[in-house]
Chains A and B, each alone.
Chain A
Amino acid sequence: MSSLDSHAGSAPQHGGGHHGSYLTSKGSLWADIANWATTVDHKKIGVMYLTALLILFFLGGVMALAVRFELLEPTRIVINQAGESVTTGQRLAFLASDGATANNIYNRAMTLHGAIMTFMFIVPGIPASLGNFFLPLMIGAKDVAFPRLNLGSWYVYVFGSLFALASALVGGIDTGWTLYTPYSTMTDADHWRLVAMITGVFIMGFSSIMTGLNFVVTVHKLRAPGMGWFDMPLFVWAIYATAIIQVLATPVIGITTLMLIFERLFNFGLFDPRLGGDPVLFQHFFWFYSHPVVYIMILPAFGVISETITVHARKPIFGYRSIAFASLGIAAVSFLVWGHHMFTSQGELTAAIFSFLTFFVAVPTAIKVFNWISTLYKGSIVFNTPMLYTLGFLFLFTIGGLTGLPLATLSTDMHLHDSYYVVAHFHYVMFGGTVIAFLAGLHHWWPKMFGKMYAETPAKLGFWLVFLGFNTTFFIQFIMGAHGMPRRYASYPDEFQWMHIISTVGSWMLLAGFLVHLFTFIHALLQGKTASANPWGGMTLEWHADSPPDEHNFAHEPIVKHGPYAYDRVVPPHTDPAEYPLPEKTDLH
């Protein structure tokens, strides 16, 4: 039995001819540009998001390298022969045009790194690129519910990003990406830059709401006939849960940024103790959005991993329903735990309650991790790049999750608060979680998106460079933080220098890894082998479309007859057995 009814089997049994593909040129270059700029095709918009995201990831990465470069040596103040005090190791000073000190430059680079990576890369990251491309395909739809809104959200995102980046062009801001008051209201020199950054964040919030709203409606209204809620692929479940958080949390950052703009321009006083306000109130508003946002960042990654792990282990996912419900559970809990970012600035009882609630996040998350590992058990694991990244994700995310426990515990958090331990923890979760899963998904779906295979060997080399580089960069920071190295300082005591050197060298390995991936992707686009429709033997609906999919996704509307991971029951159509032999049918369950 096929997962599609018979008439869908008449889809072209291709390899080569992609005449109707969404990537087909319209003729001249200008026609192509005009076509892409006004497209309402979710696949093109997904690719446009991917392009914008990768550019911003590059910018954010350069800032990260700059920050790590500055930390190669502790900055010392020395008295020169003329009797003036100068700092040694002003390695970023060439970036200064206005006589800013090394600390200013460092803070601005650090802020820009944080703001780009959170607001502009990780938050829209997987949902807007892979989600836009694959959500409709995976539920058998022709497009998202509101295609024009989808295009609009891309323009709003780009416009908002430019607004925020404009603040960097005129010198940058030094508040940290959290924009905490009073830094964000009292650092006078940064007046307009700050307003530009905050306005950019406000605008990007609209893009996030538009995307989330679109996805919720798409999942509700556009599933293929026969696809019940529990026939949806887990990536769709994850995007759905993410979209709910996007719709419910983002308006709060909207009003918070507006209040911050008013505060900045007119001294409203809501957040200023001299005028009767309370800076902690800003933190409550900020984290009421920004904690759920952590799950906007990680839930889509969970969805990607659920897909890659079952396809590349050739085994039905273990505990489908529990993974689906865990996504919703995480979404629900995410709204109750914002206060754990503020243990040191609130009352003891409040802190204890937030600490208690925070531990609940571990339950649905652990359910997922156990299910993924159970899926691997007795699977026919193929160690290709998506699988390596998937295993890397399990390793790194588990470290990231477990190191969160000492931060959720009040007594240990008092020691670790605002130290490099926190930096290491959230990089393990966000980078080791989301970015690694993003790379897993990118390699997994690359043949589908562009109809070309990437070269496996250099991609694996890229994985090892990224994986080892990441651990070299960030594992040492746990130790550094536990020894008392505070975050957000450009200068530090000499005793930490050897650890910072290891960390900085790791950041260069990461750079090398990403360059290798950039090379493999460009090589795949230019000279890659043509991909078959289903190179991995996946069961979900996107593998029933051509590679790359044609303009309207499917030749016929698919009709779903069983769940998305029925490897034990059927060999999917279009699988290329020469390339990736399927295992013998085994008696699972």
Chain B
Amino acid sequence: MSTMNPPSGRDMPAGPKPLHETVEKGHHWRTRDDEFDAGKLGMWLFLGTEVLLFAGLFCGYAIMRMLYPEAFANGSHYLNWVYGGANTLILLWSSYTMAAAIRHTQLGDKARAQICLVITWLCALAFLLIKFIFEYGPKWAEGKRPGVLFNYPYAENPMEPMWWSLYYAATGIHASHVVIGMGLIGYLIYRNAKGWYGPKNYLAMENIGLYWHIVDLIWIFLFPLLYLIH
């Protein structure tokens, strides 16, 4: 990124400057580059903690699958890969539009960035709608529920409640990340409309973009583990 300081007033055309030209570094930073690098480093560390959080669930999945392979094979038969696959495509596409929003911002194209952000937000909404309307809802109604709530009469294996427990825990925690992501992207849409982001000020957008990519990435692990492996 550029190491230039914000341009001084006399180089600028008359009229009020857009907000992103007026953003200054925090008082404790030497340069805006330092601040930018620190923000990125902090975000990568946070993403590391996210991976470790889901790693615990993956460990639980691996151990229980090893102990009860039949229950888990049965379980994944109940899931419809079409819904999961559609959600995978939606998330992949939204990851692309998120990255495009950042690129458009770097190039100073606020309007295109805004369109990309809105598409990303709508994709997240679509993901949740598919999840709840076509997956959670019908399954819950049939009694395919986690743990003690399980009362599906045609279960083929006594360990199936365990499978549903892990399914709901993993996809539920992932879905909560999608909801948080919708809040963050909504914040970006609002701030971008106000003119906060531009070629020299896009750290927040890039960091939230990184977050959105990890949400996508975790789903890309969950999808084959839950839907495809029999």
Contact = CB atoms under 8 A, between A and B. Distances in A.
B53 A254 contact: yes
Interface in A537-556: 552
B173 interface: yes
Given A221-B34, A270-B60, A247 B162 contact: no
B45 A247 contact: yes
A132 to B, nearest CB: 14
Interface string B123-150: 0000000000000000000000011110
A146 interface: yes
A263 B38 CA distance: 38
Nearest to B71: A276
B52 A262 contact: no
A255 B26 contact: no
A213 interface: yes
Contact of A222 (B28, B42, B60, B169): B28
A30 interface: no
A266 B42 contact: no
Given A147-B28, A221-B37, A276-B68, A262 B165 contact: yes
A514 interface: no
A213 B162 contact: no
Given A251-B53, A259-B169, A221 B38 contact: yes
B28, B46, B59 interface centre (most CB from chain A within 10 Å): B28
A267 B166 CA distance: 12
Given A216-B45, A268-B165, A258 B149 contact: no
A214 B42 CA distance: 7
B161 A269 contact: yes
Contact of B146 (A209, A250, A268): A268
B63 A281 contact: yes
B42 A267 contact: no
A266 B41 contact: no
Interface string A196-236: 00000000000001000110110011100000000000000
A143 B28 CA distance: 6
Contact of B48 (A142, A217, A247, A255): A247
A81 to B, nearest CB: 47
Contacts of B27: 142-143, 552
Interface string A270-301: 10000111100100010000000000000000
Given A147-B28, A221-B34, A276 B67 contact: yes
A381 interface: no
A146 B147 contact: no
Given A259-B169, A268-B146, A270-B165, A146 B48 contact: no
A142 B42 contact: no
Given A256-B56, A268-B147, A213 B165 contact: no
A145 B40 CA distance: 11
Given A252-B56, A277-B162, A281-B63, A145 B147 contact: no
B159 interface: yes
Interface residues of B, number: 38
Contacts, number: 113
Given A143-B28, A281-B63, A213 B146 contact: no
B43 to A, nearest CB: 9
Contacts of A258: 169, 173
Contacts of B37: 221
A248 interface: yes
Contacts of B146: 262, 266, 268
A138 interface: no
Tell me whether chain B's interface is mostly helix, strand or loop, or mixed.
helix
A328 interface: no
B162 A251 contact: no
A269 B45 contact: no
Contact of B38 (A220, A267, A276): A220
A281 B60 contact: yes
A252 B158 CA distance: 29
Interface in B141-194: 146-149, 158-159, 161-162, 165-166, 169, 173
B60 A259 contact: yes
Contacts of A267: 147-148
B187 to A, nearest CB: 15
B72 to A, nearest CB: 11
A213 B45 contact: yes
A269 B26 contact: no
B214 interface: no
B162 to A, nearest CB: 5
Nearest to B57: A255
B8 to A, nearest CB: 23
A141 interface: yes
Given A262-B146, A266-B147, A266-B165, A217 B52 contact: no
Nearest to A206: B49
B42 A217 contact: yes
Contact of B161 (A144, A275, A281, A552): A275
A217 B165 contact: no
A571 to B, nearest CB: 30
A255 B53 contact: yes
Contacts of A144: 28
A275 to B, nearest CB: 7
A268 B28 CA distance: 48
Given A146-B42, A250-B49, A281-B63, A255 B56 contact: yes
A252 B64 CA distance: 18
B109 interface: no
Contacts of A248: 48-49, 52
Nearest to B51: A251
A586 B35 CA distance: 44
Given A251-B49, A268-B147, 11 more contacts: A136-B28, A213-B49, A217-B42, A247-B49, A251-B50, A251-B53, A252-B52, A252-B55, A267-B148, A269-B162, A275-B162
Q: Which 5 A-B pairs have the closest CB atoms?
A: A255-B56, A266-B147, A267-B148, A142-B28, A251-B52
5 contacts: A141-B28, A217-B41, A220-B41, A262-B165, A277-B162
